[in-house]
Each structure stands twice: as C-alpha cells, then as structure tokens.
Amino acid sequence: MRRNILPRLQGVLKRKFSRVTSTVRIVEVGPRDGLQNERSIVPAAVKVDFINQLSRTGLKCIEVTSFVSPKWVPQMGDNAEVFQAIEKVPGISYPVLVPNVKGLESAMKVGVKEIAVFTSASEGFSQKNTNGSIQQVINRTKDVINVAKDHSIKIRGYISCVVGCPYDGYVKPSAVAKLCETLLSLGCYEISLGDTIGVGTTNLMKDMLKAVLVVAPSDKLGIHCHDTYGQALVNVCTALESGITVVDSAVSGLGGCPYAKGASGNVATEDLVYMLQGLGVRTDVDLNSLIEVGQFISKTINKPTNSKVNSALFKNLNP
C-alpha cells in the first residue's frame, strides 16, 4: 500500500527551515526586468493588460516599468503611457526604476508614488549599465533621492552583481556591504541584493549575506536572483534562512539585463510561490491565477515559459 509522504515531507522541510519566516513579500519584476531585454517591442496595451492581470493574483508589489533613457533601453520607452494606463489597485504598490533626476521628473509627472534606484557593487557593470563609476552613480542617486524625499516618494534600492560581475568576475562581500550601508543611509527603505548573472552558489550567497547583515538588519533587505545556473531557488532559500523576507521574482521566469549578456531570467514567481507553499510560508498569491498570467505573457511574446511549475501544472490542468 502506497503511503502519502507529503505531510511527512512537509514536516521535515519545516523542521529543516525552522528559522524561515512565516510570510514572504514578493516583488514582481516581470513587467520591468522581465520585458526590458525583449528585442521586439511589446505593445504598451499588452504591457498594461499583463500588469492588470498580475494585479489580480494577490501580488502586493509590481515593478511596472523604468524611466531610463530610451536610447539605452528602447523597450521601456512607453513608460509614461503604461504607467498612466494601468489600474492602480488600492493596497498594491507600483514602483518604477529611475536612474537620474530626469527620469524621476518624468515619473512624477504621471503620478508615480514609489521608485527604485539602482547601483552596482562592481565597477565594470556600473560603467556598462549606467555609464558611470560606482561613485558617480551614487552621486546621481543622491540627487534622485533628495528630490524624491521632497515629494514623499518611497525609494527602494538595488545593488547589482552582489556575487559576480560579467566584466569584473568575483565581487567582494565587503563591496556589497559598503554600498548597502550607503544606500540605506541615503534613505532607501529596503535594498534588493541582485545576483544579476545568476552565478551565486549557497556558499557565495552566505558569505555575501554575512557581510551585509553586519551593516543592515534583515528586514531592510530583499533578494533578487537570476537563474542562469539553476541556483535561484536554492539561493532564495539561503536568503530566507538568513532572515530575509522579501523576494523579487518574475512570472514565467522572464527577464535579463541588456547589459549582462548571457544572463537568464529571474526566478519564476510560479516556482517561488510553489516552493514557499511547500514550506508553509504565506504569500497571499494565488498560484492558479499566476499560471494563467504566465501562460498569457509567454504566448504573447512567443517564448516558452521558464517556469517548471507553470509547465507542470498547466499540463496537469489541460491534459
């Protein structure tokens, strides 16, 4: 007679991850990080439909676009149109990525209430992604933060390349910690630690987090893992075990940075939610609705989903 092993397995997982939080806040980055690297321009109406569908899944934070230079990232050139057209559901935040005061001013014109500023722990990526050294980008970011604070706009911070850089290689944990301290002191309410090229392993993550947690409490941190080497979920677990309770992800595993060649998408939101459910962690996100949105965007941009959970569940539901 076959015994149902799931309850026992969940018990083992709970004991193993006993230090893991009981709730996780997911920051969905599919519409921004997920689409920014798409070669063919996705029509604004599709982006709006995509974001509105995501708003109905239970997600509480959806990064919707970026107000960067359209010369650098043409895909996000419709930022104002998209932001204005989406339904703003009460209780959901809709942050946008902003590189400079010019971007912030454009974002404010359309009523943006939350922004994300972005920096890199490695010089090579800083130059390629934002055309400036780490220090120049910090100076630029300071100006953005000062204006944002004057207008009561919430500010999240990103640090890219927290374990490895496509141009400089290994990144020292001390460099990440130093930048994290700076961004928090400038006024970011939370720092998202980005494994931009998905090279992180458990030990690299642990070393980096150990250094960062000396300068920042875990409730000021989020984790942002790309899945290039298939390590994203493991790295998320490592972060959860360190006390982090905020995880960035993209439905369908969309994404990549135009200035990090070869890097694959983010950890898929469907896979993340499924894993968290297995750990008994609350997300308030409805997995079935996510599967539908993942199918919608994959079909629309004509790419197979990168979410294993989406592939498996969709096949089960539609044999």
Which parts of 101-120 interact with ligand HMG (CB under 6 A)?
A: 102-103, 106, 118
Question: Does 160 sit near ligand HMG (CB under 6 A)?
Answer: yes
Chain centre distance of CA 229: 17
Closest CA to 106 of 86, 81, 130, 87: 81
Please list, residue by residue across 206-220, b when 16 or more beta carbons sit within 10 angstroms of its beta carbon and e when fewer do.
bebbebbbebbebeb
- In whole angstroms, what is the distance from residue 10 CA to residue 316 CA? 22
Question: Does 222 sit near ligand HMG (CB under 6 A)?
Answer: no
3-state DSSP percent of the chain in helix, strand and coil, to 5: 45, 15, 35
Strand, coil or helix: 177: helix
Q: In terms of CB distance, is 90 or 230 closer to ligand HMG?
A: 230
Residue from 20, 48, 68, 117 touching ligand HMG (CB under 6 A): that is 68
- Give least dist CB 289 to ligand HMG, A: 24
Stretch that binds ligand HMG, among 9-17, 124-132, 203-211, 277-285 (CB under 6 A): 124-132
Which parts of 282-301 interact with ligand HMG (CB under 6 A)?
A: none
Question: Does 72 sit near ligand HMG (CB under 6 A)?
Answer: yes
> What x-and-dash track marks residues 180-209 binding ligand HMG by CB under 6 A?
--------------x-x-------------
Question: Does 83 sit near ligand HMG (CB under 6 A)?
Answer: no
- Give least dist CB 171 to ligand HMG, A: 11
- In whole angstroms, what is the distance from residue 313 CA to residue 219 CA? 33
Question: Does 264 sit near ligand HMG (CB under 6 A)?
Answer: no
Active site residue 225: no
Which parts of 1-40 interact with ligand HMG (CB under 6 A)?
A: 33, 36
Give the total of residues touching ligand HMG (CB under 6 A). Answer: 27
Question: Does 274 sit near ligand HMG (CB under 6 A)?
Answer: no
With beta carbons less than 8 A apart as the criterion, state whether 109 and 180 touch: no
Closest CA to 141 of 153, 128, 157: 157
Beta strands in the chain (DSSP E): 25-28, 61-62, 65-66, 96-97, 114-120, 154-160, 164-165, 169-170, 190-195, 221-225, 246-249
Residue from 67, 83, 94, 274 touching ligand HMG (CB under 6 A): that is 67
Question: Does 138 sit near ligand HMG (CB under 6 A)?
Answer: no
Q: In terms of CB distance, is 20 or 103 closer to ligand HMG?
A: 103
Label the pairing between strands 96-97 and 61-62: unpaired
- Please give the residue ranges that form the binding site for ligand HMG (CB under 6 A): 33, 36, 66-73, 97, 99-100, 102-103, 106, 118, 129-131, 158, 160, 194, 196, 224, 257, 259
Q: Which residues are catalytic, by number?
A: 257
